[in-house]
Structure 1
Amino acid sequence: MKKPKKLRSSKAGFPPGSLIHIGEIKIPETSFTLIDYDDRGLAERPLVSSHDFATAPRPFKLRWANIYGIQKADDLKEIGQTFNLHPLVQEDILNNAQRQKIDAYDDYLYLVLHRYELKSPKLELMQDQISLVLGHDFVLSFQERQSQTFEPVRQRIRTEHSSLRKGGADTLAYSLIDAVVDSYFAVIEQLDDHAEQLEMDILSHAKPSTLEAIHQFKRTVSQLRRNLQPLREILGFLHRDSDNFFRPEVALYIRDVYDHTVHILESLEDLRDQASGLLDVYLTTVSHRVNLEVRTLTVVATIFMPATLIAGIFGMNFRTMPWLELGGGYLYALGLMAAIAVVMLILFWRRRLV
């Protein structure tokens, strides 16, 4: 995963609630989109600046404001004044190095979620922070850059007579959380396909680069599992202790998202075990290949040992030796060497050593 260019140390010494952007700037300009809707209709429009939030009319009951690439403290201050956001919430929105968490306030909930993408072929894990603010009649979503994660939710809102149109802000918040969690399944599938490809590479021809790919796969799985671990606590809190913001009928759907999260974490645990298994398979395959090469070298050396022995005997400085005075003695010695080599090859072949 790419580390943010700006670390927390850049904020050292500032008081709590200081609005300083921390993290990588992924898009050059901030964009604002406003969707007002209820069961009577829909009004969707882009906004030019953060100042428009305070003056934008609300023709329908619910308001969903989505902001891409919030970077400037002044923009966030205006939004915070419009929706009465606590300075600590504004501080966390500007800090793109947050872990997934939930903070409860009197009039709203603040959630930090993460969106992930895998970049092939090096299996690089890309992380985007998503901040959600859930009020009684509004939802704010802050994303680092544009994505298609919430597009299915927008399509459902645009569909007349949809259940999302008839629901409240809690239904919209649940739908956004569910969309983020569902996006994790695509990452899990990519990791699973990558594990199968690694296994095929190991069994066909294990190379040093394969070992590096196994370690990268293991690091990615461990990092993703560690980052998603707090999500189970967040959804457990939403299901148990957020009656002021989620109606009982919506809380049932939150429990379903919680079950999906548990399934994702279990899948990551299986992938981590699979990564350890791939490493064992790689080491076993390399060891087996080395054993085969050593056995081949041993067979070759064993076959030439009798020839070396015969050549050594005839190379001794004795006046009287067999075949020494014969004209074909040299050919007799070579023939003896070849005959012994053929016999040994036959014996090795019958024992399936070659």
Structure 2
Amino acid sequence: MKRTRRSRSKKVGMPPGSLIHLGEVKTKHSELTLFRYDAQQLSESNATSLATLDTKTRDGEVLWLNVYGLHDPELMRHIGEAFHLHPLVMEDILNTDQRPKLDVYDNHLFVVTRFFSYDKQSVQIESEQVSIVLGHNFVLTFQERPTGSFDPVRERLRANKGHIRSSDAGYLAYTLLDVIVDRYFIVLEQIGDDCDYLEESLLYRPGEHMLQNIHKLKRETMELRRAVWPLREVINSLVRNESGYFQHDTVLYLRDVYDHTVHFIESLEALRDLLAGMLDIYLSSISNRVNMEVRALTVVAMLFMPATLIAGIFGMNFVHMPWLEHRDGFWFAIALMGGIGSFMALIFWRRQWLSRRLF
């Protein structure tokens, strides 16, 4: 997961609710998309400022405002004033390093969660903060950059599929949370595919790059768990519905999202255990390779040891030595070296020391 240092020095000494953006600017201009709908009709508007949009809420209608780009404090201030949001909500939206959490206020509730995407090339998870504000007849979503993450929900609204158009704002908030959690499983599946490939490669062709990839995957899954774990408690709090923003039928659907979150965390734990086992396999493979290389060197050294011994004996500087001045002494020494070496090689072969690939 990409890590960036976010300076908080700009907020030192500032009062609570100060609108200061903390985080990476991921889009040049802020974009706003407004959906207003009921069971019979739907209107959709796009703008770059709030002044050109009709944000007045009406009975019987649900308003969904999505904001791309969180680096414009003035725009955030106008949105907060238009929907009477608590200053602490706007402050948390602009701080893109928040952990998943739920805050309940008098006229709205505030949920912080995260989107994830996986880059196979860099073996890295990219994270984006998504904030959701739920009122009695409106939903506000804030994203760091334009993505198609909520496109399935928009298509369902346009095509009037499912129960979104005939339901309240709480059902829309549930649908958005369901899409977020479903995307977690896509990331988990992609990481799992890479783990399967690495596990298979470890047994046949382990390399140094695999250790780096295993370490990256372990680090990414750890960061993913750290980001998703609090979301379970957030959704569990929504299921209890102490705020009363969700109808009974919607709470049943939220329970399903909670089950998916628990299942995701359990699957992530299993994946982390798999990566830990893969690291052990890698270290064992490297140790086995070193042992094979040492074995090969030992066999070669033992084969040449008799020749070295014979050459050392005949190389001593004594005046009188047997066979030293013999006409065939050289060839006798060579034959003796070769014979002993061949005999030892035969013994090694019968003991299957030479039957496996050593080089």
TM-score (norm 2): 0.94
Aligned-residue offset at 1:56? 6.1
Hey, what does 1:240 align to over in structure 2? 240
Please give the alpha-carbon distance, in whole angstroms, between the structure 2 residues aligned to 1:72 and 1:243. Answer: 30
Please give the alpha-carbon distance, in whole angstroms, between the structure 1 residues aligned to 2:219 and 2:22. Answer: 25
Find out whether 1:229 has 2:223 as its counterpart. Answer: no
Find out whether 1:165 has 2:157 as its counterpart. Answer: no
Please give the alpha-carbon distance, in whole angstroms, between the structure 2 residues aligned to 1:341 and 1:36. Answer: 90
Which whole-Å deviations, capped at 9, do the CAs of 1:41-93 have from their partners, x for residues lacking one? Answer: 11111134112345668696111111100322221111111111011111111
Please give the alpha-carbon distance, in whole angstroms, between the structure 1 residues aligned to 2:160 and 2:185. Answer: 29
Hey, what does 1:104 align to over in structure 2? 104
Instruction: Give the aligned CA root-mean-square deviation in angstroms.
Output: 1.7
Within 5 Å, give how 1:81-120 maps onto structure 2: 81-120=81-120
Which whole-Å deviations, capped at 9, do the CAs of 1:3-51 have from their partners, x for residues lacking one? Answer: 3453223211101000111111100000111101111111111134112
Which whole-Å deviations, capped at 9, do the CAs of 1:238-290 have from their partners, x for residues lacking one? Answer: 00134510111111110111111011111111111112111111110010000
Hey, what does 1:199 align to over in structure 2? 199
Hey, what does 1:283 align to over in structure 2? 283
Aligned-residue offset at 1:202? 2.4
Within 5 Å, give how 1:307-322 maps onto structure 2: 307-322=307-322
Hey, what does 2:125 align to over in structure 1? 125
1:57/1:12 Cα in 2 relative to 1: closer, same or farther (>3 Å)? closer
Within 5 Å, give how 1:1-354 maps onto structure 2: 1-4=1-4, 6-53=6-53, 61-160=61-160, 162-242=162-242, 244-354=244-354
Hey, what does 2:357 align to over in structure 1? none
Name the amino acid aligned to 1:205. Answer: R
Aligned-residue offset at 1:328? 1.1
Please give the alpha-carbon distance, in whole angstroms, between the structure 2 residues aligned to 1:235 and 1:317. Answer: 90
Name the amino acid aligned to 1:222. Answer: M
Secondary structure at 1:211 match in 2:
helix
1:71/1:317 Cα in 2 relative to 1: closer, same or farther (>3 Å)? closer
Gaps of 5+ in 2: 355-359
Name the amino acid aligned to 2:2. Answer: K
1:342/1:160 Cα in 2 relative to 1: closer, same or farther (>3 Å)? same
Aligned-residue offset at 1:108? 1.2
Please give the alpha-carbon distance, in whole angstroms, between the structure 1 residues aligned to 2:225 and 2:216. Answer: 14
1:249/1:313 Cα in 2 relative to 1: closer, same or farther (>3 Å)? same
Checking the alignment, whether the CA contact within 8 Å between 1:39 and 1:161 is kept in structure 2 is: no
Aligned-residue offset at 1:124? 1.8
1:260/1:162 Cα in 2 relative to 1: closer, same or farther (>3 Å)? closer
Question: 222-231 or 157-166, which moves further after superposition?
Answer: 157-166
Please give the alpha-carbon distance, in whole angstroms, between the structure 2 residues aligned to 1:57 and 1:169. Answer: 12
Aligned-residue offset at 1:161? 5.7
Please give the alpha-carbon distance, in whole angstroms, between the structure 2 residues aligned to 1:294 and 1:48. Answer: 68
Please give the alpha-carbon distance, in whole angstroms, between the structure 2 residues aligned to 1:288 and 1:122. Answer: 29
Checking the alignment, whether the CA contact within 8 Å between 1:123 and 1:217 is kept in structure 2 is: yes
Please give the alpha-carbon distance, in whole angstroms, between the structure 2 residues aligned to 1:53 and 1:16. Answer: 29
| Residue correspondences, number | 354
Checking the alignment, whether the CA contact within 8 Å between 2:102 and 2:111 is kept in structure 1 is: yes
1:229/1:120 Cα in 2 relative to 1: closer, same or farther (>3 Å)? same
